[in-house]
Structure 1
Amino acid sequence: MAIRLSMHNWMRPEPVEDTVSRLARHGYDAIEISSDPRNMDVADIRRLLGEHGVACAGSLALFMGGRDLVHEDVYIREASLGYLMDTIQLTEALGGTFVTVPCTVGKVVPMADPEAEWAWYVTALQRAQRHAANCGIRLAIEPLTRYETYLINRADQALRLAEEVGEDCGICLDIFHMNIEEADWKAALRASAPRLVNFHVAENNRLAPGSGAIDWSVLIEELLAVGYDGHLSVEFMPAVDRTPISDRHILEADDATLGRGMAKWLRDHASGILPADLYDAYTAQSAQTLRHHLTKAYARR
């Protein structure tokens, strides 16, 4: 099976019908949908996906605000696990195959000793893994940069966690984060191949593919070489630019009608509310750039 093209929908809070329509217009195969199980109409989303010919690749568990699987308060840990369990069921209902699981974004200070936090994390994910297996879903642990979490930053850490969780628990890699944290991203990718479930893509500056320094031909060749046939899931996130030279006009997260958790999530990504025209342009550019390099890579094989 060939590598397919997907995109998140957390980068710009908007009605899901707007996002799905945009993805279809720009030729995406699928969406990696941001999980909000208690506020999503599954039947309506399934209808939208069917009408536009866009699949649900999987979902992204939004560990933000009060969601934290390694919090010192056991009640917060249990509620966070409940959210992950609901996300697994949502993903199954939408026809997805994986749930991406990052650490809590923006939490950069631990609350307990390393052994306790590791035990909490492994135990929670083992419980989630059993539920996921029953639903035909794979968990995909995602490393993030040190600026977003202190806990899982590199592929080797994610692999160790997945191995301790056991069964077919997988990982999700992100070339933006790898470009910062990995000494050798190619070696990290090769070591991760047996458990690689999903792959996020953005430039080294976290802009849309084609706006930075990443050699997409080399990356795609490496993915093909290790036998990866999942999704390239686009996740650009332009930073707020408050200087006189800015041409992005990104609104501050606090200026929009958002929940406190989502506003903090956007701020923790150094961003805000992307205007629709910029979001559309980045969505189109990402698809064009990645399709171009995928086509060339398959033609060489």
Structure 2
Amino acid sequence: MSKIGVHSFVWSAGSSKDEIERTLARSHELGFKLVEFSYLDPEQVDVKWLASRIRELGLDVAVSMGLPADGDISSDDPSVVANGEAILDRAVALVRDLGGSKLAGILSSAHGKQEHALSRKGWDQSVGTLSKVADRAKAAGVTLNLEIVNRFESNMLNTAAQGLAYIRDTGASNVFLHLDTFHMNIEEADVGLAIRNASDKIGYVHIGESHRGYLGTGNIDFASIFDALVAIGWNDFVTFESFSTTIVDKDLSLKTAIWRNLWQDNVALAKHARTFIELGMETARLKADLVKAAHLPTA
């Protein structure tokens, strides 16, 4: 059975001790099993304290990020690539030190709208660099989960099929896909089929609505998504992600174009999301069982 996680920006975009404690406490109180921290700077956070609190609350943890322009590992500039490699290594170390196993997000290129198409040289540069990071991450017990995002946030991995090709080229056993329903709804021909096709290479899943607000109030066909997750036997984390101008991160909110205030009460939002995902997955399981039942006469 899948476990449900929540993105930390549902609670706060800050990283003070009080903000992080509130994020952990609310997530735990509402029954989430994982907290995903995005763009967490280990130099600004007491990592030992945070790891201890995560253990005390019985939570799992994931870390997500996007490479900056000056850390783009698909760049022609060796110094930019080296910086990106170092950023990824530090992120891997943070995941390890927090007691987690998943680094997710835009790890193969810079996060943001690009003004040029990706070249084959850029692809190969990225693959080669990430392969080296993956080797070190494997020794640390960390998987690299490549987020497949829309064309306005990356010029490299926009579909699950592209991500599968990238993983194949790395040859690494600890590199997986990070699928996000918001992005898939934009780029995939059929989200459910894309999930089924990716199957055993999926490492992490984000559930988010087409407008980033309350689940079920946009245009995403969540029934087919839950059906696909059940069909592939997904039993790992499904993490709720939502953004609003109520909680603003100066970098991510701009890059993801969060211009509208789609919610103010994050407790109500999170409660609704957890129930929505639980019911969606349970309904998909019930349907999967029902279509296998012959219901033959007994007399």
Same fold (TM over 0.5): yes
SS at match of 1:39: coil
Count of aligned pairs: 279
RMSD: 2.4
Q: Does 2:137 match 1:132? A: yes
Matching residue of 1:278 = 265
Matching residue of 1:72 = 76
Q: 1:63 aligns with which of 48, 67, 70?
A: 67
Q: 1:182 aligns with which of 184, 188, 197?
A: 188
Q: Is the 8 A contact 2:178 2:204 kept in 1?
A: yes
Matching residue of 1:9 = 8
When residues 275 and 218 of structure 1 are mapped into structure 2, their CA distance, relative to the original with a 3 A threshold, is closer
When residues 67 and 114 of structure 1 are mapped into structure 2, their CA distance, relative to the original with a 3 A threshold, is same
Q: Does 2:63 match 1:39? A: no
Deviation at 1:275, TM superposition (A): 10
Q: Does 2:198 match 1:198? A: no
Q: Distance in 1 between matches of 2:6 and 2:73?
A: 25
When residues 39 and 180 of structure 1 are mapped into structure 2, their CA distance, relative to the original with a 3 A threshold, is same
When residues 275 and 38 of structure 1 are mapped into structure 2, their CA distance, relative to the original with a 3 A threshold, is farther
Deviation at 1:4, TM superposition (A): 0.6
Q: Distance in 2 between matches of 1:101 and 1:180?
A: 17
Deviation at 1:131, TM superposition (A): 0.8
Q: 2:31 aligns with which of 7, 27, 34?
A: 27
TM-score (norm 1): 0.84
From the CA coordinates, give the structure whose radius of gyration is larger. Answer: 2
Deviation at 1:263, TM superposition (A): 1.6
Letter of the structure 2 residue corresponding to residue 120 of structure 1: Q
SS at match of 1:38: coil
Deviation at 1:118, TM superposition (A): 0.7
Deviation at 1:23, TM superposition (A): 0.8
Q: Distance in 2 between matches of 1:179 and 1:284?
A: 23
Q: Deviations over 1:276-295 (max 9, x none)?
A: 95333322221121122233
Q: Deviations over 1:219-249 (max 9, x none)?
A: 22210111221111111124x5xxxxxxxxx
Letter of the structure 1 residue corresponding to residue 6 of structure 2: M
Matching residue of 1:120 = 125
Letter of the structure 1 residue corresponding to residue 136 of structure 2: H
When residues 167 and 276 of structure 1 are mapped into structure 2, their CA distance, relative to the original with a 3 A threshold, is same
Spell out the pairing of 1:160-239 with structure 2 (5 A cutoff): 160-168=165-173, 169-238=175-244
Q: Is the 8 A contact 1:126 1:166 kept in 2?
A: yes
Q: Deviations over 1:175-201 (max 9, x none)?
A: 111111001212211121121100111
Which consecutive unaligned segments of at least 5 residues does structure 2 have?
290-299
Q: Is the 8 A contact 1:84 1:128 kept in 2?
A: yes
Letter of the structure 2 residue corresponding to residue 180 of structure 1: I
TM-score (norm 2): 0.84
Which consecutive unaligned segments of at least 5 residues does structure 1 have?
241-249, 254-261
Q: Distance in 1 between matches of 2:252 and 2:115?
A: 16
Identical columns (%): 23
Matching residue of 1:296 = 283
When residues 208 and 68 of structure 1 are mapped into structure 2, their CA distance, relative to the original with a 3 A threshold, is farther
